[in-house]
A and B are shown apart, each in its own frame.
Chain A
Amino acid sequence: MAAAKKLKYLLRLYVAGNAPNSVRAVANARALCIEHLRGEHELEVIDLMDFPKRALADGIIVTPTLVKVTPSPVQRLIGNLSDTEQVLLALGLK
């Protein structure tokens, strides 16, 4: 992940399979990244159905959860990210 260091934003999205909120969150996150981060980012999508242990390790409780790892401070958001205003505020993009 040498390339990741150059990136401004590292985002992790924890989802649960095909659950409607999870599917919507993935779509919302991708759209948001393209529109507001202009490629200076990495979006890691983690499906807890496949990696349940990641949830325990990372302290994820509900799905979907978006974690902004960098830039600090670390910020967590829950929900399907339909509330764009809240997402932008939380990520410090507005």
Chain B
Amino acid sequence: MQKPPAVTSLLKMKTGIAGLDEITGGGIPVGRNTLIMGGAGCGKTVFALQALVHGARSSNEPGLFVAFEESATQIIANAATFGWDLPRLTKKKLFFLEARLSPEIVKAGEFDLVGMLAVLQAKAKALGAKRIVFDGIDVLLGLLDDPVAERREVYRIRDWLAATGLTGLLTQKVSGYETDKRYSFLQFMVDCVVTLRHQVVDGSAFRNLRVVKYRGSGFEADEFPITVTSTGMELTTRGPAKLEYEVTDERISTGLPRLDVMLKGGYHRGTNVLISGAPGTAKSTLCGLFVAAACKRGERTLYVSFDEGAAQIVRNVRSVNIQLARYQKSGLLEIYSTRTRGPNVEDQFADLRARVRAHNPRCVVIDPLSALSTKLAHVASADAAQQFLDFLKGQGITVVNTSLMDGLDTDEATATGISTIADTWIHVSYVVQDGERNRALTIVKSRGTGHSNQVRELKLSDDGVTLTDVFVAKGKVLMGVARWEWEQEQQAAKKRSQVATELERLHLELAQAEAAARLQVIQTEIDAREAEIGLLALATGQASELRVTGRAAIRKMRHADVEVANKHMRAKSAKPKSRSKPARSGER
């Protein structure tokens, strides 16, 4: 039965099932058959229908759906939750063939599918169909109820597909994981086999998908978790082996100016920020700041909360003057509050991915991501958180997520692996000191940027959020009241020093004024003396002239020496100076 390898390279078509197209390297084989096997409720029909719808919507490839088990109306109604708009598609691009045989039908001999295939062929031609689904092939086989006829009809379908060039998807219900031996030929006949499995582990339901065979192509053979979200089925893969992201130097504000400075401009666009801390350390408030700043820039933002309802978040951050209501109203901000739902976190991440695709945000907050910590999660979901963050990074979305932890060395940080994924890690802790609790913010790491290594005190008030310097005194970091006291003391000391300086200045001014006054007195005195001297000189001159003439006359008369006369005159002129001094100082 094994066909010789295809001469032309194998063409693949996308199913639109995220993850499946990656692990198969492009989707299901074109012009061949793919068999989807699984128990009840595994999502076989969703798988097949999604591939069909994807073709119709994204690749303009109309398709046919042959419903052996459920009625077409039921299928269309069931798929309504996925928003595929089937009623519109059925007008031009999709055709549903009701192929359920009513139980009243009497079987009177052998039958075959020749007529049906003729009908389908006509319809395919009319639509230009490229894909076809035979949903519930097991129902048809059960009706044929004859091993020879079963094989014959299945081969008929295969040959018909080969002749028409349609790509076929067959779904087959199997009980349990092992397929019924009687229908095992189906697996040999088709080119690609996918099994879906439903299992319950510790009371939690998990759905997995595995590609069992793919002729002419390599594929990842492991089992992968699948989830059915509001947009359809998706597969959680490990993501691309290569880490490749667009890198930008653009900085965006954290919403806290001081923190922007500490990070040398803010968060890097498209990176992953982790804010960790104990309960009540204002992690959500920091998220709120980031969201408000993003919305203010006009960027679409998604806030995912596992803690509180949207209204509560808005009210809480309003208490520190962060206004989010208007952005929520304008549609820029979507707050999605949800509960953690048991250990199967795959579903939750798939749900979040769908939300992200729907809202198309540039900034995302997950508060807290540790709600989806893998501590509880199933092994298969081990790296679900990483994959989700990877997905966001791939889209260039800036993510701020919070994590509940008391210290940096807790298990949680390493278990989720968030700390390694995070590009920037901010830790907020409590510092208990002198009977009070204060919030201290530090930047643990920030890739690709220098950052402050100082501890800052995070203060929340009615006016908003601020970061304050902390003081180190006597080998201790001072915060809260201690810091306030220290500040008060500093201020008092400064004041004291100011007063002292002022006093000193006044003293000096006084001394200067005194000196100036003294100078004035002396100047006046000098002037007075000069005047006195002038007067005296005048008087003395006249007197001495008289005396000189007198004495000369006397000398002439007595024949005395000249020297004696001069000496006498000098003693007489010094006399008034010594006499005036005590009188002047008395005036002061």
Real binding pair: yes
Query: Contact residues of A with B, CB < 8 Å?
Result: 14-17, 19, 21-22, 24-25, 28, 48-49, 52-53, 55-56, 59-66, 75-84, 86-87, 89-90
Once bound together, how far apart are the Cα atoms of A9 and B122, in whole Å? 31
Selected from A14, A48, A77, the residue in CB contact (under 8 A) with B108 is A77
**Interface segment out of the listed B113-121, B340-348, B367-375:** B113-121
Across the interface, which residues of B come within 8 angstroms of A55, CB to CB?
Answer: 115-116, 118-119
Across the interface, which residues of A come within 8 angstroms of B107, CB to CB?
Answer: 77-79, 83, 86
B interface secondary structure, majority: mixed
Once bound together, how far apart are the Cα atoms of A48 and B102, in whole Å? 20
Tell me the total A-B contact number using a CB cutoff of 8 A: 107
B249 close to A (CB within 8 Å): no
Across the interface, which residues of B come within 8 angstroms of A60, CB to CB?
Answer: 115, 119
Given contacts A63-B112, A78-B111, A80-B111, contact A17 B118 (CB under 8 A): yes
Of all chain A residues, the one with the shortest Cβ separation from B121 is A52
A interface secondary structure, majority: mixed
| Total count of chain B residues near the partner, CB < 8 A | 24
Query: Contact residues of B with A, CB < 8 Å?
Result: 97-102, 104-116, 118-119, 121-123
How near does chain A come to B571, taking the closest CB pair, in angstroms? 157
How near does chain A come to B155, taking the closest CB pair, in angstroms? 14
Q: Kindly name the residue among B109, B113, B115 whose own CB sees the greatest number of chain A CB atoms within 10 A.
A: B115
Does B110 contact A82, Cβ atoms closer than 8 Å? yes
Does A79 contact B111, Cβ atoms closer than 8 Å? yes
Selected from A16, A75, A86, the residue in CB contact (under 8 A) with B112 is A16
Once bound together, how far apart are the Cα atoms of A14 and B116, in whole Å? 11
Once bound together, how far apart are the Cα atoms of A79 and B99, in whole Å? 15
How near does chain A come to B162, taking the closest CB pair, in angstroms? 18
Across the interface, which residues of B come within 8 angstroms of A87, CB to CB?
Answer: 106, 108
Does B110 contact A79, Cβ atoms closer than 8 Å? yes
Once bound together, how far apart are the Cα atoms of A25 and B368, in whole Å? 69
Of all chain B residues, the one with the shortest Cβ separation from A89 is B106
Does A21 contact B118, Cβ atoms closer than 8 Å? no
Once bound together, how far apart are the Cα atoms of A84 and B109, in whole Å? 9
Known: A61-B101, A65-B111, A76-B105. 13 other contacts (CB 8 A): A16-B118, A17-B114, A21-B109, A28-B109, A48-B115, A48-B119, A55-B118, A56-B97, A61-B100, A61-B116, A78-B105, A79-B111, A87-B106
